[in-house]
């Protein structure tokens, strides 16, 4: 997910500061001084000091505060959506659907599940040798969780990750994208109004240097969402101090349209999946493979529907697709489309900037006759482009889908759910949706993450909560005054008894087990133990 690399400097940017600007108009919304290394370390120290009391509060009290956060967000839903549209560019209605709704439901999941997830659990002991013991599993917070978050979903991604971290008893220090600090500040304001202590959730605005300072600020765990190159650098830095990390680094998600798929439905899914948030999503449909028998009708349907989309300022209620976030992102899309065109791809619609609308607009684009020799089918595009390629059978479709360094998400479109789920099992991807795409991130119970260059770890659901805690096992002996049979001293007698004890537990027939019981009978009262 292209998210947290440095912006290309513009005349409006001041050294040592980052700029929040409306990508549709270029209007500067606000500039922020970059947090220095000393300021980042101080923020982490304050968070660490505040965390023990938050943890001692207990899961039920913490979920009450999350409940207040949820209701405050619900009350301010339209205001928050407008801020997202203004700072990131997506339409307001899309901000409600893909950001506000997602966060409200993530809060619901944490409220409903945190207490049960965090409570102590008994660990049964199956071995006869440990039957006198009582084991318990504890989940304890890490302490201070650092979150480095992206610009493309500037509210929902940091909010969902922070909710899980906070409800588990951690403190959070959030470094938002240099492009979207205002959304992060709004999140922080909502948390404070709900009752989260000020020092427990802190925001350090800044550029890449600020992010580096946070990685090196002696935090207890890091969650990073961003590009693969930046993620690799962070992983190397984290490895030097054994800092545990969750890395969500992007996707090149394939969509398979089988020969029995409904073209009308699948084409609508492809158009939305490719163009939602102007294609700036790690879960976007970035590669579409269609059975050859459906190829031309599918192309026609996608072009027809793309022609009906309204591109414009996200603040306009009639807008379907907003701008790209900045010139650098627009240029990346432009370069990939032009290279594909030069290598034989057909541009069926789009394929150009829309300068009359503003500085960062690119027309939604449908490409045909693409191949895997083109960057548009290999590298993350992060723009409003739908490249479509035919296939001949299911085996070839799976082979094409798996021919990628990414493995975040995928989709299969078919009239036969059983067939679709069978293909899903063969696809190298963390998530596969049958007859839908992208919306898996909005399913709070579902883990978000993948394989290959996608990154490390999971967010969302119980797997996401697991990333926010350390697991501790506590074992108590019910016979504290008895010396254990496996303690010193050893000897020939103990060896014979242990042979019998192993037969008693694991022999495949009952007669051998009975002989083992007789052979090991004296082990509990053997003499000579130190």
User: Which residue is catalytic, options 94, 178, 248, 334?
Assistant: 248
Name the catalytic one among 34, 92, 110, 282. 282
> Measuring CA to CA, which residue among 302, 271, 303, 305 is closest to residue 285?
271
Question: What are the backbone dihedrals phi and psi of residue 57, each rounded to the nearest 5 degrees, phi first?
Answer: -60, -30
Check whether the bond before 489 is cis (ω within 30° of 0).
yes
Is 282 assigned a catalytic role? yes
Residues whose CB falls within 8 Å of the CB of residue 461, separated by 6 or more in sequence, listed in order: 109, 444, 445, 446, 447, 448
How far, CA to CA in Å, does 224 sit from each of 158, 187, 309? 10, 18, 33
What long-range pairs does 459-464 form, CB within 8 A, spacing at least 24? Answer: 459/160, 459/161, 459/164, 459/223, 459/246, 459/248, 460/106, 460/160, 460/164, 461/109, 462/113, 462/117, 464/160, 464/161, 464/164
CB–CB of 473/456 below 8 Å? no
CB atoms within 10 A of CB 521: 13
Most distant CA atoms of the chain, gap in Å: 93
What is the four-CA torsion angle of 157, 160, 164, 170, rounded to 10 degrees?
60
Q: Cα–Cα–Cα angle for 384, 388, 393, nearest 5°?
A: 150
Active site amino acids? 248, 282
């Amino acid at each position: 997910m292209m998210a947290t690399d440095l912006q290309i400097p513009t005349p409006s940017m001041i050294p040592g500061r980052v700029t929040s600007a409306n990508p549709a108009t270029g209007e500067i919304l606000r500039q922020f001084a970059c947090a220095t290394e000393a300021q980042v370390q101080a923020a982490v120290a304050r968070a660490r000091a505040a965390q023990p009391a938050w943890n001692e509060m207990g899961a039920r009290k913490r979920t009450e505060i999350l409940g207040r956060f949820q209701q405050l967000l619900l009350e301010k839903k339209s205001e928050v959506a407008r801020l997202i549209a203004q700072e990131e560019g997506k339409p307001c209605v899309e901000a409600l659907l893909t950001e506000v709704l997602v966060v409200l439901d993530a809060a619901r999941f944490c409220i409903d599940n945190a207490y049960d997830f965090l409570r102590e659990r008994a660990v049964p002991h199956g071995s006869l040798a440990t039957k006198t013991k009582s084991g318990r599993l504890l989940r304890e917070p890490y302490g201070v969780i650092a979150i480095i978050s992206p610009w493309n979903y500037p509210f929902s991604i940091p909010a969902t990750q922070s909710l899980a971290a906070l409800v588990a008893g951690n403190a959070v220090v959030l470094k938002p994208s240099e492009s979207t600090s205002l959304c992060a500040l709004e999140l922080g304001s909502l948390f404070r109004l709900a009752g989260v202590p000020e020092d427990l959730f802190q925001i350090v605005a800044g550029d890449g240097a600020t992010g580096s300072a946070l990685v090196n600020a002696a935090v207890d765990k890091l969650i990073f969402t961003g590009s693969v190159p930046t993620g690799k650098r962070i992983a190397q830095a984290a490895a030097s101090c054994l800092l545990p990390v969750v890395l969500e680094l992007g996707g090149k998600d394939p969509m398979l349209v089988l020969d029995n798929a409904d073209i009308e439905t699948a084409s609508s899914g492809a158009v939305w999946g490719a163009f939602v948030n102007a294609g700036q999503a790690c879960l976007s449909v970035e590669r579409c493979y269609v059975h050859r028998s459906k190829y031309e009708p599918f192309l026609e349907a996608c072009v027809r529907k793309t022609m009906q989309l309204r591109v414009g300022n996200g603040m306009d209620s009639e807008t379907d697709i907003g701008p790209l976030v900045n010139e650098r992102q627009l240029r990346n899309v432009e370069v990939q489309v032009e290279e594909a065109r030069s290598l034989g791809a057909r541009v069926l619609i789009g394929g150009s900037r829309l300068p009359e609308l503003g500085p960062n607009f690119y027309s939604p684009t449908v490409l045909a006759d693409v191949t895997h020799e083109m960057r548009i089918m290999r590298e993350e595009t992060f723009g409003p482009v739908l490249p479509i390629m035919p296939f001949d059978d299911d085996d070839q479709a799976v082979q094409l889908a798996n021919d990628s360094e990414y493995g975040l998400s995928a989709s299969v479109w078919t009239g036969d759910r059983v067939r679709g789920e069978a293909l899903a099992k063969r696809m190298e991807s963390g998530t596969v949706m049958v007859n839908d795409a992208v919306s898996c991130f909005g399913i709070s119970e579902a883990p978000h993450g993948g394989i290959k260059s996608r990154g490390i770890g999971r967010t969302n659901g119980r797997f996401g909560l697991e990333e926010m805690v350390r697991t501790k096992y506590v074992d108590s002996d019910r016979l504290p005054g008895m010396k254990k049979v496996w303690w010193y001293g050893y000897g020939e007698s103990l060896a014979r008894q242990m042979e019998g004890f192993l037969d008693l537990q694991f022999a495949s027939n009952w007669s051998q087990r009975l002989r083992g019981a007789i052979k090991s009978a004296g082990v509990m009262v053997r003499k000579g133990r130190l």
